[in-house]
Chain A
């Protein structure tokens, strides 16, 4: 079963704009990870945020985690056409090293 649910399912923005994707999950987690998937590079790890962290940055990416609401958001600033891809959140349960993926958000960045 899918643990995480991303919102929106699809997002289309102009190059240079910011893109925000949200993820909700159901059970307690050890960490939450975001992955990107496109036809050229397959599924690639973007960023990991642990359950005791609230915010994390990596380049143009900003991730927040609210464990009380069981939700996370991924912000991509100053988007580029190359950011066009599907973005998945994945949750890891305590001690399992297993990931449960959501259905993903399909992001289109228009040049």
Chain B
């Protein structure tokens, strides 16, 4: 089966600019996650969707970050305006979201550099 797709792979922007990332999960996966991974650390969950509804966005900086999952498939994550500390790899993951199938499948990530 095809994996999780993300684009773009790399993005360089100036601080205060806006940026958007796109994710296409594995077909049939109900749950979609966005993570932020700062260099040298493990991924940190930003937001979790179940179908097209938000399950948890408690760690999403809502003053500048927004995410949506239209029609319960693709998702976009937006940062507006970006700060220097937003430089990180943004990972999208999907899973079946059932007790028997907890494994998360990750995309290649988008490496964001904010100058």
Is B25 interfacial (CB 8 A cutoff)? no
Are B109 and A97 closer than 8 Å at their CB atoms?
no
Q: How far is the CA of A3 from the CA of B31 in the complex (A)?
A: 21
Q: Give the residues in chain A near B65, CB-CB below 8 Å.
A: none
How many of B's residues come within 8 Å of A, CB to CB?
A: 23
Are B42 and A103 closer than 8 Å at their CB atoms?
yes
How many of A's residues come within 8 Å of B, CB to CB?
A: 23
Q: Give the residues in chain B near A25, CB-CB below 8 Å.
A: none
Are B40 and A43 closer than 8 Å at their CB atoms?
no
**A-B contact list, 20 entries, CB within 8 Å:** A4-B42, A33-B102, A33-B104, A43-B91, A43-B93, A45-B103, A88-B42, A92-B102, A97-B48, A97-B95, A97-B97, A98-B45, A98-B48, A98-B56, A100-B45, A101-B42, A101-B43, A102-B42, A103-B40, A104-B42
Q: Give the residues in chain A near B48, CB-CB below 8 Å.
A: 97-98
Is B22 interfacial (CB 8 A cutoff)? no
Are B102 and A42 closer than 8 Å at their CB atoms?
no
Q: Give the residues in chain B near A35, CB-CB below 8 Å.
A: 106
Is A75 interfacial (CB 8 A cutoff)? no
Q: How far is the CA of A35 from the CA of B103 in the complex (A)?
A: 10
Q: Give the residues in chain A near B44, CB-CB below 8 Å.
A: 2, 101
Which A residues fall within an 8 A CB radius of B? 2, 4, 30-31, 33, 35, 42-45, 48, 88, 90, 92, 96-104
Is B72 interfacial (CB 8 A cutoff)? no
Nearest Cβ in chain A — how far from B18, in angstroms? 25
B42 closest partner in A (C-beta): A101
**A33-B102, A97-B97, A101-B44 known; 4 other A-B pairs, CB under 8 Å?**
A42-B106, A45-B105, A99-B33, A104-B41
B98 closest partner in A (C-beta): A97
Are A42 and B95 closer than 8 Å at their CB atoms?
no
Q: How far is the CA of A60 from the CA of B95 in the complex (A)?
A: 25
Which of A43, A92, A98, A100 has most B Cβ within 10 Å?
A: A43
